[in-house]
Amino acid sequence: MAFSLFGNQHDRKKEMQSLTDEQLVARYARTRDVEYVGQLYERYTHLVFAVCVKYLGNEEEAEDTVMLLFEKLLEELKHARIETFKSWLYIVAKNQCLMQLRHRKTVERSRDTLLKELESGIMESGDEMHLILENSDGDHQLEKALGQLNEAQRRCIELFYLEERSYYEVSETTGYSMNEVKSHLQNGRRNLKIILEKTLEK
């Protein structure tokens, strides 16, 4: 019985390996059997990884993106009309990377905005704060400072500055009222300034 079961699994894998990409897509769309997508994953992991490294320039982030992409495929391949899977997958991978790069730049701009606001609020330590901004460890200092805030202040600052949400969106996401959001942002900025000033004194 065990031999028969093993034989069936072996035959099934062999059958899937003999199918074209497009046949695998069609069968997955019809049956929702994730093994068909698994076969596509085996065929194209190296391709997607290479595309992600090319655009993202970071192997660790590329690995995470490969996993994310194939998770997305489980949903998209249920309905997508695809003529040539390999070409379609390349475009999907490229677009995902470009989207992440845009998001990365947005986050970096938002961090710069927050740091500059803090810098303008630190009068005596302005020159030294400028050195932190110029230093490659500036982002690390900000992350450490954010980690010292209470949950409400940290969450509101991350959403408002780093994710560029509006007051309304922050309120909807966190459940805080608009006045509470503004209060958490104001107190959070003040506390970040205090924390960074202490950093400069060390």
Q: Is residue 115 part of a domain?
A: no
Q: Is residue 177 part of a domain?
A: yes
pTM of the full predicted structure? 0.51
Q: Is residue 3 part of a domain?
A: no
Give the domain extent around 162. Answer: 122-201
CATH no. for residue 187? Answer: 1.10.10.10
What are the C-alpha distances in Å from 174 to residues 158, 163, 196? 11, 14, 26
- Show which of 55, 71, 102 is a domain's final residue: 102
Long-range contacts of 138-145 (CB under 8 A, 24+ apart): 139/111, 141/196, 141/199, 142/111, 142/114, 142/115, 142/192, 145/192, 145/195, 145/196, 145/199
Q: Is residue 94 part of a domain?
A: yes
pLDDT tens, N- to C-terminus, the chain (202 residues): 444 444 567 677 788 888 999 999 999 999 999 999 999 999 999 999 999 999 888 888 899 999 989 888 888 898 888 889 999 999 999 999 988 888 777 666 666 666 666 655 443 344 443 444 344 344 567 777 888 889 998 888 888 877 778 888 888 889 999 889 889 888 888 888 788 777 655 5
Q: Is residue 130 part of a domain?
A: yes
The whole-angstrom separation of Cα 4 and Cα 128 is 73
Q: Is residue 107 part of a domain?
A: no
